[in-house]
Structure 1
Amino acid sequence: MKTSLLGMATIICTMFITSCSSLTSVSEVKEYSSRSFVPQTRLMETQTKLINKRANLEVEPVNTKEESSSMVLLNSVLDETNNLFTEFLLKEAETYIGTPYRYGGTTRNGIDCSAFVRSVFETFNMNLPRVSADQAKEGQRISTDEAREGDLVFFATRGGGRVSHVGIVHGRNENGVLTFIHSSTSQGVIITPITDSYWGKRFLYAKRVL
């Protein structure tokens, strides 16, 4: 059965929520945001096969030049879906605020930094490695200016530039400074600005895993 363009948007958004993964951003068309999903003509055949495999439907490839308005609609739907997912992710993370830190801990009675991040993402069926150094190998490296809610930030608390701490980007404060939620050894799960006197000196980089 052939689906309409709106049907395509529904299918792709359903796939997005189920897999908890985002589609690749493309910036070839100026009016689209950097987070927009604009299929390129040469990729449409592969994308169609993937949709057919997941949904068992026959989907007509879309001519991106003739259907640019439909792509704008699709971008909007996907963007709203991503924002909604990130909102749920952070709400889950915030339920841990006040949980004490415990080295090797994995529960709300006591949890370490990497277990905290892993537990939050696991709630949405996204599996990350157990330790921060391995989590740092996931995703795409980004600048702090690009970082947004749901991205991961990594720190070297033992010197040598080796990852030993991780947190989740929570947003930006009233001064536009990036904040992150994490399990700190001294205060447990808290929200901290990345310019904090302690953490600012130990910050390494941010990565996008969504």
Structure 2
Amino acid sequence: MTVLKHNLYMKKSLILILCLICFSHCKSSKRAKKNNTVKTRHVNIKSAPDIPVDYEIIPNKEKSSSAKKSSKSQADYIIDYALQFKGTRYKWGGTTKSGMDCSGLVFESFRSYDILLPRISRDMAKKGSKISLKKVNTGDLLFFKTGGRRNSINHVGLITAVKNNDIEFIHATSSRGVIVSHLNEKYWLNAFEEARRIL
């Protein structure tokens, strides 16, 4: 009877141990599954890009285009403003597209860039610094004594280009309105008085 009890006890113990092993194995596999799921989700979240691939390129393009824009000088802006009046008829005292005189053209072009000059050409000739024709650049002013008033400055032009030993300038003439002329033209070369730099 004692041997029987002992065997029964051993069987029960064995069954209990097996149950415990199975139970613990099931629990650890459940944990492993949970851990794998969490890890997989974590990896998926990290690997999903929220930002487009070319995001970094966009600011660089903007910088390069703004650098191009900023390469323009004050003189370039002033000249561009003056050139829009090309073909405008002459009007004494005029400062608009309906009519323009020589000093009005220069006055308005500089004013477009917040540089205020006197309204009359002979007074403009007192501003800035006098320079030789060899040193002139775009944006500089040319002053002339024309017609019957050769005793004083009465005409002004804005230099738009300096190339091949010639100086191009925009101005308003009483006969042709706002035009671009060349200082090498005999009339303008003879009437030329001085060049001045404002910028």
Contact 1:161 1:204 in 2 (8 A): no
Aligned-residue offset at 1:129: 0.4
Q: Are residues 1:179 and 2:168 paired? A: yes
Structure 2 match to 1:143:
132
User: Which of 187, 197, 202 is 2:191 aligned to?
Assistant: 202
Call closer, same or farther: CA 1:145–1:81 in 2, change over 3 Å.
farther
Residue among 61, 80, 94 paired with 1:91: 80
The 2-side partners of 1:183 and 1:176 are apart by 23
Contact 1:154 1:205 in 2 (8 A): yes
| Higher-helix-fraction structure | 2
What residue identity is the alignment partner of 1:126? I
Q: How many angstroms does 1:123 deviate by?
A: 0.4
Larger Rg: 2
Q: How far is 1:81 from its partner?
A: 6.8
Give the match's secondary structure for 1:96: coil
**2-side partners of 1:145 and 1:99: how far apart?**
30
Partner of residue 182 from structure 2, selected from 190, 193, 196:
193
Q: 1:188 to 1:163 in 2, by over 3 A?
A: same
1:202 deviates by 0.3
Per-residue deviation at 1:82?
8.4
1:166 paired to 2:156: yes
Q: Which residue of 1 aligns with 2:103?
A: 114
Q: Among the aligned pairs, what percent are the same residue?
A: 36
Count of aligned residue pairs for this structure pair: 130
Matches within 5 A, 1:1-210: 84-157=73-146, 158-173=148-163, 175-210=164-199
Question: Take 1:82 and 1:116, find their aligned partners in 2: how far apart are those partners?
Answer: 24
| 2:74 aligned counterpart, secondary structure | helix
Contact residue 113 and residue 166 of structure 1 kept, 8 A: yes
Q: Distance in 1 between matches of 2:188 and 2:71?
A: 28
Q: Secondary structure at the match of 1:201?
A: helix
In structure 1, the gaps of 5 or more residues are: 1-79
C-alpha offsets along residues 32-78 of structure 1, whole Å, 9 cap, x if unaligned?
xxxxxxxxxxxxxxxxxxxxxxxxxxxxxxxxxxxxxxxxxxxxxxx
Take 2:96 and 2:138, find their aligned partners in 1: how far apart are those partners? Answer: 23
Describe the superposition over 1:4-55 as per-residue Cα deviations: whole angstroms up to 9, x where unpaired. Answer: xxxxxxxxxxxxxxxxxxxxxxxxxxxxxxxxxxxxxxxxxxxxxxxxxxxx
Amino acid at match of 1:87: D
Q: SS in structure 2 opposite 1:145?
A: helix
SS at match of 2:116: coil
Q: What is the TM-score with the length of structure 2 in the denominator?
A: 0.62
